[in-house]
Amino acid sequence: MTIAPGGSYEQLSRRNGYTADPLAPAVPGLTSFSTVCRFRGYDFSSEIQSARHRALPSSPASFVNPYNVLDHEHNGIPGDATWFLRADMDDVEIFQIMADSLGLERGTRVISINIQQPGQMATTHFDELGRLAKRYLDKKDALDDQDKFVRYLIALTDWNLGQFFHFGNGLWHQWETGDCVSFEWGSVPHGTANTGWWDRAILQIAGLATPDSRAMLLANDNRIIRLERP
């Protein structure tokens, strides 16, 4: 089993020049993720519940770029294998407030909840932000410059056994509700699996960076941000 010739992973790893030794140390930004902040004081149960009603299965076959299907089928994995359930949540006020505090430009955000059920996995891949590109076609040039669009993952429940993300050589696990991380979505290969017995719910926020969002990432202080129900 190998990387499929002409598949998404081969194309994007060549384009992005990712050649890190898997045994090298995990370096935030280059071969790992960065911790950004900790949202605290908010119970996301009702938001997760509404996401369950809206969520649809997400698989390589449902992505904008079909080349990921090739990677899967080359390795005997069905192209429509469910990676997780995905729900659009742009209309939820608390999530817009969180995006505000991350400093993302209004009107350029894509916000979703991603629920990974026991046994589901997202194989290692690079992001292309296809949904964002489709929605903000006028900003397509910005997508070629990764620094312009930032992507955050925020845990909506406490970590439980068997759940993890890898970003390059870095592993994210043992998160608490509200923990927020970011990663270089286009140049760091990443994947996630739920090998445990409990659903894991993550909020994904992507959007156009501003001086505020850049300053926060640079500060790298894992600050606490208090939330209240709007």
> Which residues would be at the binding site for Fe ion (CB under 5 A)?
127
Minimal distance, residue 100 CB to Fe ion, in Å: 24
- 94 vs 153 by CB, closer to Fe ion: 153
Strand partners, 191: 166
Minimal distance, residue 127 CB to Fe ion, in Å: 4
- 127 vs 179 by CB, closer to Fe ion: 127
Sequence letter at residue 86: R
Q: Give the pair of three-digit tokens for residue 24.
A: 């090298």
Element (H, E) at 97: helix 93-102
Q: Helix or strand or coil: residue 8?
A: helix
Strand partners, 58: 84
Instruction: Work out the number of other CB atoms within 10 angstroms of the CB of residue 1.
Output: 7
- 188 vs 225 by CB, closer to Fe ion: 188
Minimal distance, residue 190 CB to Fe ion, in Å: 6
- 58 vs 213 by CB, closer to Fe ion: 58
Q: Helix or strand or coil: residue 116?
A: strand
Minimal distance, residue 128 CB to Fe ion, in Å: 9
Residue nearest to Fe ion (CB): 127
Contact of 129 with 205, CB cutoff 8 Å: no
